[in-house]
């Protein structure tokens, strides 16, 4: 706890981003309140406002869903929904451009398993172990969600000998877990094979279960499954059709930039070309 009193540029930046994002969400919710029309529900924010005005929560009919709770719900939905998949795909494309041999292995697997006559489907995921291993390594190495969203203890507890009072704000440091030398061999090296079994034909559950990006326990991200499916389908489709590279001789800085998720600096030297002509049918 004493660390919170020490100066930290990263922590101050993190707090500032959270403050600005919270203000942004409050403004959106207020605009929805101003223009709300119960006969024309436009989105989930309107639905929450309708619930606030007409419904009750729990057994007490006099306890409406508060404005603060609506803001918190919308905040969570924004943070969890709109940025995560896009950031994951952005890191994926950077890694395949940085490591063309890895990109080639993924494309060979796609060609051998799916071919070039049809596009990848969700049902193909279990038959593409190297592609899945790449996605897991992208999650681990980038750790673009370095911390879980904040939670609060509902009662005092002791964890590994540390006393944690009730109502303490807690995070999971996912970046540390994903780069812990006690858990991973050469954690700074990007190596999808670490997630494959000895024969390279299946994902190693022992290794994949160590990787953390969607939180832990009962409060882990409820969108984990759909997020994984979306990333797989978009990435497999792009790599089946396209080849990604970087302009020769140009340095690329992938130092993470802090935000809701960690991204690398805008890269102007991506090169993309079609692998083969695709039929429309």
pLDDT digits (tens, 9 = 90+) for 107-143: 999 999 999 889 999 999 999 999 999 999 999 999 9
CB 44 within 8 A of CB 71: no
pTM value is 0.74
pLDDT digits (tens, 9 = 90+) for 261-275: 888 988 889 999 999
pLDDT digits (tens, 9 = 90+) for 143-168: 998 888 788 889 999 989 999 999 99
pLDDT digits (tens, 9 = 90+) for 201-256: 999 999 999 999 988 888 787 778 888 999 999 999 999 999 999 999 888 889 88
Mean pLDDT for the stretch of residues 10-18: 71
Please give the residue that has the higher pLDDT: either 5 or 32: 32
Long-range contacts of 170-177 (CB under 8 A, 24+ apart): 171/147, 172/147, 172/148, 172/212, 172/215, 172/216, 173/146, 173/147, 174/143, 174/145, 174/146, 174/147, 174/148, 174/212, 174/213, 174/215, 175/143, 175/146, 175/147, 177/210, 177/212
pLDDT digits (tens, 9 = 90+) for 176-198: 999 999 999 999 999 999 999 99
Domains of the chain: 2-80 (no CATH), 83-274 (1.10.630.10)
Q: Is 52 annotated as a binding residue?
A: no
């Amino acid at each position: 706890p004493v660390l919170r009193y020490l100066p930290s540029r990263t922590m101050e930046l993190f707090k500032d981003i959270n403050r600005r994002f919270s203000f942004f969400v409050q403004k959106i919710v207020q605009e929805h309140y101003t223009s709300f029309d119960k006969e024309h529900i436009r989105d989930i924010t309107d639905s929450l406002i309708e619930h606030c005005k007409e419904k009750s929560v729990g057994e007490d009919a006099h306890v409406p869903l508060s404005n603060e709770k609506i803001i918190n719900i919308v905040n969570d939905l924004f943070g969890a929904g709109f940025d995560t998949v896009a950031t994951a795909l952005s890191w994926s494309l950077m890694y395949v451009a940085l490591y063309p041999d890895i990109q080639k292995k993924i494309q060979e697997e796609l060609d051998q398993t799916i071919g070039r006559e049809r596009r990848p489907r969700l049902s193909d995921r279990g038959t593409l172990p190297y592609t899945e291993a790449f996605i897991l390594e992208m999650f681990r190495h980038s750790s673009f969600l370095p911390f879980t969203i904040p939670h609060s203890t509902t009662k005092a507890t002791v964890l590994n000998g540390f006393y944690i009072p009730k109502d303490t704000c807690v995070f999971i440091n996912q970046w540390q877990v994903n780069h812990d030398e006690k858990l991973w061999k050469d954690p700074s090296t990007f190596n999808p094979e670490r997630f494959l079994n000895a024969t390279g034909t299946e994902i190693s559950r022992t290794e994949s279960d160590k990787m953390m990006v969607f939180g832990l326990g009962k409060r882990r991200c409820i969108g984990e499954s759909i997020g994984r499916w979306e990333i797989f389908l978009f990435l497999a489709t792009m790599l089946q059709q396209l080849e990604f590279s970087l302009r020769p001789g140009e340095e690329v800085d992938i130092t993470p930039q802090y935000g809701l998720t960690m991204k690398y600096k805008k890269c102007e030297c991506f090169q993309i070309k079609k692998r083969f002509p695709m039929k429309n049918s």
